[in-house]
C-alpha cells in the first residue's frame, strides 16, 4: 500500500495522518464558460477532465462582483459589509479587525503557504504586500510583465499598436518575450519541482492566481484557431431590458476606455456594441479561457497522483453582452456566478454535480473541514464580529460526505447574498458607477438568490455605519429563474407576485445569518 492510499485510508477512519496539500487556483473574471458547466463553445479539456473527478458546484455566487471586495471576502470568509470594503482602498486589519485569512489559518496549522500571481488584489486592500507576513510563508510572486496590462501592445488592423480589448499576440514580440500567466505558471512549476526543499517537508497550500481572462483579452494568438468566429453564439438577451431600473445598470467603462472600443463611438451610458464586435469579444474571451486551461493542464500534470486537494474558482463572473452589458459591476447572475470545482483525492473519484446554492465565503470553512487541520471554524457571532477566526459562510462538506450530513448547519432555504454599490441612481462616468470609491457611495444594491428567484433592492447606504436604510429605495428587481434564467424580465410590478416579493424582501433584510441554523 503506498502512502497515498494510506492517507486516504486514514481520512476515512477520521484520523488525518498525513495532511493533503492544497492547490487553490483563482482565475480572474472567469464566468463558468467551461465544458464542465455545459458551455458549448468551450475548449477546456484540462478543467473538464479535472471536473470529471471532482465536485462541480453549479450554483456558486460571489459576495460582490469586483476583484478586491470579492477576494478579501473569499480569503477571510467575511462579507463586504463586515470588511467595509466595496472599492479597492482599505485593509481590513487596519480598518475593521485582525481577521485570520484562509492561507494564514493553514500557515498557523503546519502548512507552507505560497501565493503566485493575483490572489489578493494588489495595493491598499492587501497592504501592498499581499497581507504579508500573516498569510504567506514565502514571498508572494507577481509576474513582472503584468506592468504592461495597460500598455499599447495590441495590434491594430493598420499595423499600429493600441491599448485594446482584443489583444491576441505573438508572445516573442511582447515586452520581456513572455506573458504574465506564463511567468506565473513557470514559477508554480518550479515550486512544485523543488517542493520538499522549499517547504522543508511541510504540506503546502499553494495559491495560483491567473490574470486572464480579465481585460485586456491578451493571449497567444494561436488560441484563436480553436475558436472560429463563425462558431460564436451571440447571447439572446443582448439588450437592456426596459424593466431594469437605471440604478442597476453598470456602464462598463473599462471596456469603453480601450482604444478599439472607443473607435466604435458607442454612446454613454446605454449605447450598444455592434454585433460583429460583440462576436469578437466573446471569441477572444473564450480563447483566453482556453489559454488558461492549457496552463492549468501543465500544473495538474505535475501533481498528478499526489495527495492534493484542488480548488478551481474565480472572483466573480463577467457579462459578455448579456443585458447589453459587459464586465462585472452588477448583481446579475452573469456577474455574481462563478465556477467552483473541488477535487478531493479518494472522495471524488467521478464527477459529482452539487446543485445547491453556495457562496465563495463557504470555501474557507470547507477547506478546513476537508483537511481537518483544526476544529471547524465557528460561525461569526452577531454581537462579537471582531473575533479573529470565524466564518460568515458555512462548510460545504455535508454536501460532499454523506456521513457528515447530520452535523452540518442546514439552511431552511439555501440562498446566496451579494451586493453592489452605486454613486447615484443614474449611470455616470464621474464618479464611476462601475467602481465608485467609498466616499462617493450613496446607494447599495442588496441581492438574494434562491433556487427559484433573484430579488434585488437598491437602497440608501450610510457609508459611516456601512448600513442600509431599507426605507429609501431607488429600484427593485425580481426574476424568476424557473421561466427566465437570463434574468431579463423584472417581475416586481406583477400583482400576483406581491407576496413572493414580500417574503424575499424579509429574507434579504434578515440577511445571511437567518439562513444559518
Ligand atoms: C493580528 O494577528 C496576528 C496573527 O494572529 C498577530 O501576530 C498580531 O499581533 C495581531 N495584531 C494585532 C494588532 O492584534
Ligand atoms: C501595513 O504596512 C505598513 C507599511 O509597511 C506597516 O507599517 C503596517 O504595520 C502594516 N499593517 C499591518 C496590520 O501589518
Ligand atoms: C535541495 O537542496 C539541497 C541543499 O541545498 C540541494 O543539495 C539539492 O540539490 C536540492 N534538491 C533539489 C531537488 O533542488
Ligand atoms: C466616430 O466618430 C468620429 C468623429 O466624430 C468619426 O470620424 C468616425 O467615423 C466615427 N466612427 C464610427 C465607427 O462611426
- Ligand 3, atom 2: closest residue by C-alpha: 197
Cα(126) to centroid(ligand 2), Å: 10
pLDDT at 412: 46
pLDDT at 513: 82
Is the pLDDT score of 408 beyond 50? no
* DSSP reduced 3-state for 72: helix
The CA distance from 64 to 70, in Å, is 5
In CATH terms, the fold of domain 3-26+53-516 is Alkaline Phosphatase, subunit A (3.40.720)
Residues 392 and 75: beta-carbon distance below 8 Å:
no
Cα(311) to centroid(ligand 3), Å: 29
Largest CA distance in the chain: 67
Joined together, the cell numbers standing for residue 91 give 485593509
Is the pLDDT score of 30 beyond 90? yes
Residue whose grid cell is 442600509? 468
- Model confidence at 383, pLDDT cuts 50, 70, 90, reads confident
Q: Which sign does the torsion angle of CA 210, 215, 220, 222 carry? A: positive
Is the pLDDT score of 439 beyond 60? yes
Mean pLDDT of 344-370: 94
- Answer yes or no: is the C-beta of 234 below 6 A from any ligand 4 atom: no
466 labelled catalytic? no
> Which ligand gives the minimal distance to the CA of 191?
3
Q: Burial of 235 by CB count in 10 Å (0-12 exposed, 13-18 middle, 19+ buried)? A: middle
Is the pLDDT score of 8 beyond 80? no
Exposure string over 21-44, b if 16+ CB within 10 A, otherwise e: bbbbbbbbbbbbbbbbbebebbbb
Q: How many CB atoms lie within 10 A of CB 363?
A: 25
Alpha carbon separation from 505 to 135, 153, 305 (Å, rounded)? 37, 48, 48
Is the pLDDT score of 84 beyond 60? yes
- Ligand 2, atom 1: closest residue by C-alpha: 127
- Answer yes or no: is the C-beta of 384 below 6 A from any ligand 4 atom: no
Q: What is the pTM of this model?
A: 0.95
- Ligand 2, atom 4: closest residue by C-alpha: 127
pLDDT at 381: 85
Is the pLDDT score of 517 beyond 50? no
Mean pLDDT of 462-482: 97
pLDDT at 403: 63
What would the 3-class secondary structure string for 98-116 be?
A: CCCCHHHHHHCCCCEEEEE
- Model confidence at 413, pLDDT cuts 50, 70, 90, reads low
Cα(438) to centroid(ligand 2), Å: 21
Is the pLDDT score of 260 beyond 80? yes
Per-residue pLDDT reduced to its tens digit, 191-225: 999 999 999 999 999 999 999 999 999 999 999 99
- Model confidence at 410, pLDDT cuts 50, 70, 90, reads very low
Domain locations along the chain: 3-26+53-516
- Ligand 4, atom 13: closest residue by C-alpha: 264
Mean pLDDT of 485-513: 96
227 labelled catalytic? no
CA 18 to chain centre: 30
Mean pLDDT score across all residues of the chain:
94
The CA distance from 75 to 62, in Å, is 12
Mean pLDDT of 364-379: 96
- Answer yes or no: is the C-beta of 99 below 6 A from any ligand 1 atom: no
Q: Burial of 116 by CB count in 10 Å (0-12 exposed, 13-18 middle, 19+ buried)? A: buried
pLDDT at 14: 45
Which of ligand 1's atoms lies nearest the C-alpha of 104? 4
* Share of residues in the chain with pLDDT > 70 (%): 93
Is the pLDDT score of 304 beyond 80? yes
What is the bridge-based pairing of β-strands 443-449 and 453-462? antiparallel
* DSSP reduced 3-state for 59: strand
Per-residue pLDDT reduced to its tens digit, 35-70: 999 999 999 999 999 999 999 999 999 999 999 999
Which of ligand 4's atoms lies nearest the C-alpha of 264? 13
Amino acid at each position: 500500500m503506498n502512502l497515498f492510499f494510506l492517507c486516504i485510508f486514514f481520512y476515512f477512519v477520521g484520523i488525518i495522518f498525513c495532511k493533503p496539500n492544497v492547490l487553490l487556483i483563482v482565475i480572474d473574471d472567469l464566468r463558468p464558460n467551461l465544458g464542465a458547466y455545459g458551455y458549448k463553445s468551450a475548449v477546456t479539456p484540462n478543467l473538464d477532465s479535472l471536473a470529471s473527478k471532482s465536485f462541480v458546484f453549479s450554483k456558486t455566487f460571489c459576495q460582490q462582483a469586483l476583484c478586491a471586495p470579492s477576494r478579501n471576502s473569499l480569503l477571510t470568509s467575511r462579507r463586504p459589509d463586515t470588511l467595509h470594503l466595496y472599492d479597492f482602498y482599505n485593509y481590513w486589519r487596519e480598518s475593521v479587525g485582525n481577521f485570520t485569512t484562509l492561507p494564514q489559518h493553514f500557515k498557523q496549522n503546519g502548512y507552507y503557504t505560497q501565493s503566485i500571481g493575483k490572489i489578493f488584489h494588489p495595493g491598499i486592500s492587501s497592504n501592498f504586500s499581499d497581507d504579508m507576513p500573516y498569510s504567506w510563508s514565502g514571498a508572494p510572486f507577481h509576474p513582472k510583465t503584468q506592468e504592461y496590462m495597460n500598455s499599447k501592445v495590441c495590434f491594430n488592423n493598420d499595423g499600429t499598436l493600441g491599448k485594446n480589448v482584443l489583444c491576441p499576440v505573438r508572445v516573442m514580440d511582447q515586452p520581456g518575450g513572455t506573458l504574465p500567466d506564463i511567468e506565473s505558471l513557470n514559477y508554480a512549476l518550479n515550486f512544485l519541482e523543488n517542493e520538499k526543499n522549499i517547504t522543508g517537508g511541510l504540506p503546502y497550500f499553494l495559491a495560483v492566481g491567473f490574470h486572464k481572462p480579465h481585460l485586456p483579452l491578451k493571449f497567444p494568438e494561436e488560441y484563436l484557431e480553436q475558436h472560429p468566429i463563425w462558431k460564436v453564439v451571440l447571447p439572446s438577451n443582448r439588450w437592456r431590458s426596459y424593466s431594469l431600473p437605471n440604478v442597476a445598470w453598470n456602464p462598463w467603462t473599462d471596456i469603453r476606455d480601450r482604444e478599439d472600443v472607443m473607435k466604435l463611438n458607442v454612446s454613454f451610458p446605454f449605447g450598444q456594441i455592434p454585433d460583429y464586435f460583440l462576436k469578437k469579444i466573446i471569441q477572444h474571451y473564450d480563447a483566453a479561457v482556453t489559454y488558461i486551461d492549457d496552463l492549468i493542464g501543465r500544473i495538474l500534470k505535475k501533481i498528478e497522483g499526489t495527495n492534493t486537494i484542488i480548488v478551481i474558482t474565480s472572483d466573480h463572473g463577467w457579462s459578455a453582452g448579456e443585458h447589453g452589458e459587459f464586465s462585472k459591476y452588477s448583481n446579475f447572475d452573469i456577474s455574481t456566478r462563478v465556477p467552483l470545482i473541488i477535487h478531493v483525492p479518494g472522495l471524488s473519484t467521478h464527477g459529482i454535480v452539487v446543485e445547491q446554492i453556495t457562496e465563495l465565503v463557504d470555501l474557507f470553512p470547507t477547506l478546513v473541514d476537508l483537511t481537518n487541520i483544526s476544529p471547524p471554524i465557528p460561525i461569526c457571532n452577531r454581537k462579537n464580529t471582531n473575533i479573529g477566526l470565524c466564518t460568515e459562510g458555512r462548510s460545504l462538506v455535508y454536501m460532499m460526505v454523506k456521513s457528515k450530513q447530520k452535523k452540518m448547519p442546514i439552511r431552511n432555504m439555501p440562498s446566496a447574498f451579494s451586493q453592489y454599490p452605486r454613486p447615484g441612481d443614474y449611470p455616470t462616468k464621474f464618479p464611476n458607477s462601475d467602481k465608485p470609491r467609498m466616499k462617493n457611495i450613496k446607494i447599495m444594491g442588496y441581492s438574494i438568490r434562491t433556487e427559484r428567484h433573484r430579488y434585488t433592492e437598491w437602497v440608501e447606504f450610510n457609508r459611516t455605519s456601512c448600513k442600509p436604510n431599507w426605507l429609501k429605495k431607488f429600484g427593485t428587481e425580481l426574476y424568476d429563474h424557473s421561466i427566465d434564467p437570463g434574468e431579463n424580465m423584472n417581475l416586481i410590478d406583477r400583482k400576483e407576485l406581491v407576496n413572493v416579493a414580500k417574503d424575499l424582501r424579509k429574507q434579504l433584510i434578515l440577511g445571511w445569518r437567518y439562513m444559518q441554523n
